[in-house]
C-alpha cells in the first residue's frame, strides 16, 4: 500500500533527526516533535547548518510556507 507523505512523517516523529530545507537556502536539523497539514513544524534540539557550520538553536517553530522539503537524516547530530 502506498503511503501518504504525512504518514511517512509519522514514522520519524519524536524518533530520529530530520533535515529541513527552507526557502533562502537555509537548512535545519532536529527532532521533529510535531507538524500540521500546512507543514508548520516543531523541531527540538535544532541546529542551523550554514556553510558546514552548525549553530545550536534549541526548539524552533518553522512556518510551513518556508519549507521546501523534509527528509530523515542519516547523519548523527
- Kindly list the structural domains of the chain, giving each domain's residue range(s) and its CATH number in brackets, ordered by start: 5-72 (2.30.30.100)
Reduced to 3 states (helix: H, G, I; strand: E, B; else coil), residue 65 is: helix
Residues paired with 49 in a beta bridge: 27, 54
The overall average pLDDT reported for the chain is: 89
Alpha helices in 3-74, H assignment, sequence order: 5-12
Closest to 71 in 3D by CA, of 18, 3, 11: 18
33-61 average pLDDT score = 93
Among all chains, which residue has been given the C-alpha cell 504525512? 6
Write down the pTM of the prediction: 0.83
| pLDDT single digits (tens) 31-40 | 999 999 899 9
| pLDDT single digits (tens) 11-32 | 889 988 999 999 999 999 999 9
User: Where in the chain does DSSP place strands (E)?
Assistant: 17-22, 27-35, 41-50, 53-62, 67-72
Amino acid at each position: 500500500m502506498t503511503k501518504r507523505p504525512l504518514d511517512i512523517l509519522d514514522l520519524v516523529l519524536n524518533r530520529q533527526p530530520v533535515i529541513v530545507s527552507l526557502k533562502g537556502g537555509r537548512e535545519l536539523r532536529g527532532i521533529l516533535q510535531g507538524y500540521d497539514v500546512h507543514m508548520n513544524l516543531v523541531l527540538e534540539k535544532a541546529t542551523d547548518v550554514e556553510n558546514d557550520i552548525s549553530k545550536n538553536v534549541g526548539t524552533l517553530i518553522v512556518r510551513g510556507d518556508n519549507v521546501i522539503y523534509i527528509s530523515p537524516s542519516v547523519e548523527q547530530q
